[in-house]
Structure 1
Amino acid sequence: MLLPTSSSVPGAAPLTFVCLHYWAGSGKEWQAVAELLAPEYGVLTPDLGGFGNAPAPAGGFTVDAYADEVAAYIASRQLQQYVLVGHSMGGKIALALAARQPVGLLGVALLSPSPPTPEPMTEEDRQSSLRAFGKRPETEKTLATITARTLPAAVQQQIIDDNLHTSKAAWNAWLLHGSRENIAARLHQLRVPCTVLAGDQDAVLSPSVHGLETLPLLPDGTHLEIVGGAGHLLPYEAPEEVANLLQAFARQLPQGAD
């Protein structure tokens, strides 16, 4: 069962953004973005299974199991019109769900998404990440590596806390399996508009990865927007740019909130 976080804004608006967080994060990463989008849009920011305060997904830690959980979460909220917003790991989950053509889905916004193909991660990096589980010094080192803009101390602490609060099962499952899954063959079934946002200083998934691995599989006309001076954690590093992109994207949708 997915759990909403304190940054959730009830989906009372005509259009709701359902925001899926990055690996080793939580729904709290969307708090600043949600505040910028309210009250014009509803924003829901669940913790994905094994992260934040959410229990393990009932069907395991596969991309499809997460997509099942998100679908059930959306159904429980009885959303009529919504946009899936996926950051990093959440991006791959959003694409897997969108390919099912769920009722009410108007669009998909991807922030530094894990590509539909296996992530370009070296085996050395994979093993290093596996060994880093639960180690605060490694978490602090990772934070410095994946961000480019200076973040307030409280935000840095939230990022570290989320990382250290991740369950070992969820941590290992993404590194060993989820990040390696290939859902590319399904994306011809994607029927809604998409947009992609990336930081030009992203040390995890550079804009070139999105251009090579993700954009060719998305609908014609999908744009890749670049945020200058930002790293991988866009909702923390560039909440204004993210909110502006989502607002502009929503207003272009054929059945948007207007």
Structure 2
Amino acid sequence: MDARSATLDLADGRRAPVWWYGDAGAPARTVVLVHGFRGDHHGLAGIAAALASGSSSATPGWRVVVPDLPGFGAAAPFDGRHDVPAYARFVRLVADAVQPGGAPALVGHSFGSIVAAHAVAAGPDAFSSLTLINPIAAPALEGPQALMSRLAQLYYAAGARLPEPIGQALLRNRVIVRLMSEVMATTKDPALRRFIHDQHRRYFSAFADRRVVREAFTASVTGTVTEVAGRLTLPVQLIAGDADDIAPLDTQRRLHTLLPGSELSVIAGVGHLTHYETPELVAGLIGDFLDRHPAATGEGAAS
């Protein structure tokens, strides 16, 4: 299913580029998807299309909207810092613009899981349910990938401090992006690996400037879902990959215990890129969850 681009006029005066799947103008059950660090809406296209097509749900008719987070993809950066509270406010404003007076379902992947969880914690009545895909449940600088996170921290610091042309070249270096992609991909399917690498080559460097990517990286390795777990009182779904080195399965299980009544689904043989490697399976899990926890209906407001 093809996406339709649109622009939302948010209550704070920002114009937010979004991509709709399904009938954007008709009353329908609405889902807002939030992408991860250095990504944009393209990364969640497979999940969004499957949800909107009805193939993932016993009850078709999901209307799915995927915004680019400010500073990434087609979205202009914030004037202030690119941190979790700022992104959480943005997501709440998008939800209100998408479904005024309603309560759409909210889905976040990776860094998007942190943003989504904080958006719900700050405005629980704004959403009907929360799905976290490969959620970040422990600080990256303290987990099993702490060394790699420290190296990444040095990389982004160097990109910010070097002279402009050299810093930009370092942060957008295709060899480094390819290495990141190789590390994250777990599939052995050559065609799927080529697709993943091509997606990262095309979109992983679609950030506005060095300030944006460094601030967002800092937010991604210091914030967690766990720190607001006690305020997530709506239905919560967790989707994990059992081979995920970035969001290890043991941290997902601990998060699950902190969220009474939450649901945890584990996908075997997949790491952090479930949105690329198993998008239809992820969409099916989400669709089943949303069938049991339906979002409110309401009119959209795209322009």
Please indicate the TM-score interval, normalised by the length of the shorter structure.
Answer: 0.7 to 0.9
What is aligned with 2:66?
A: 45
Tell whether the 8 Å contact from 1:13 to 1:41 is kept in structure 2 after alignment.
no
Tell whether the 8 Å contact from 1:19 to 1:86 is kept in structure 2 after alignment.
yes
TM-score (norm 1): 0.87
Residue of 12, 19, 22 corresponding to 2:33: 19
Distance 1:254 1:38, change over 3 A: closer
State, as a whole percentage, how many aligned pairs show the same letter: 25
For 1:211 and 1:127, the matched residues in 2 are separated by 27
What is aligned with 2:47?
A: 33
What is aligned with 1:193?
A: 235
What is aligned with 1:94?
A: 116
SS, match of residue 150 in structure 2 = helix
What is aligned with 2:24?
A: 10
1:66 and 2:87 are equivalent in the alignment: yes
1:248 and 2:292 are equivalent in the alignment: no
- Post-superposition Cα deviations, 1:22-61, rounded to whole Å, max 9, x if no partner, equal 1111111121222211242011111111211211134421
* Matching residue's letter, 1:170: V
What is aligned with 1:148?
A: 186
Residue of 123, 127, 146 corresponding to 2:151: 127
Q: CA deviation at 1:101?
A: 3.4
Q: CA deviation at 1:63?
A: 0.4
Number of corresponding residues = 254
Superposition RMSD on alpha carbons, in Å? Answer: 2.5
1:202 and 2:234 are equivalent in the alignment: no
What is aligned with 1:82?
A: 104
Larger Cα Rg: Structure 1 or Structure 2?
Answer: 2
For 2:150 and 2:213, the matched residues in 1 are separated by 11
Q: CA deviation at 1:174?
A: 3.0
* Matching residue's letter, 1:146: M
Q: Return 89-98 or 6-15, whichever deviates more.
A: 6-15
For 1:27 and 1:33, the matched residues in 2 are separated by 11
* Matching residue's letter, 2:276: Y
- Post-superposition Cα deviations, 1:159-191, rounded to whole Å, max 9, x if no partner, equal 222212224223211333442136745432222
- Post-superposition Cα deviations, 1:202-248, rounded to whole Å, max 9, x if no partner, equal 12212112223x22332x12122111121211111111111101111
Tell whether the 8 Å contact from 1:250 to 1:256 is kept in structure 2 after alignment.
no
SS, match of residue 137 in structure 1 = helix
1:161 and 2:206 are equivalent in the alignment: no
For 1:180 and 1:11, the matched residues in 2 are separated by 38
Tell whether the 8 Å contact from 1:51 to 1:162 is kept in structure 2 after alignment.
no
What is aligned with 2:269?
A: 229
What is aligned with 2:301?
A: none
Q: CA deviation at 1:157?
A: 1.4
* Matching residue's letter, 2:235: P
1:138 and 2:159 are equivalent in the alignment: no
Distance 1:18 1:159, change over 3 A: same
For 1:14 and 1:66, the matched residues in 2 are separated by 25
What is aligned with 2:130?
A: 108
Tell whether the 8 Å contact from 2:131 to 2:236 is kept in structure 1 after alignment.
yes
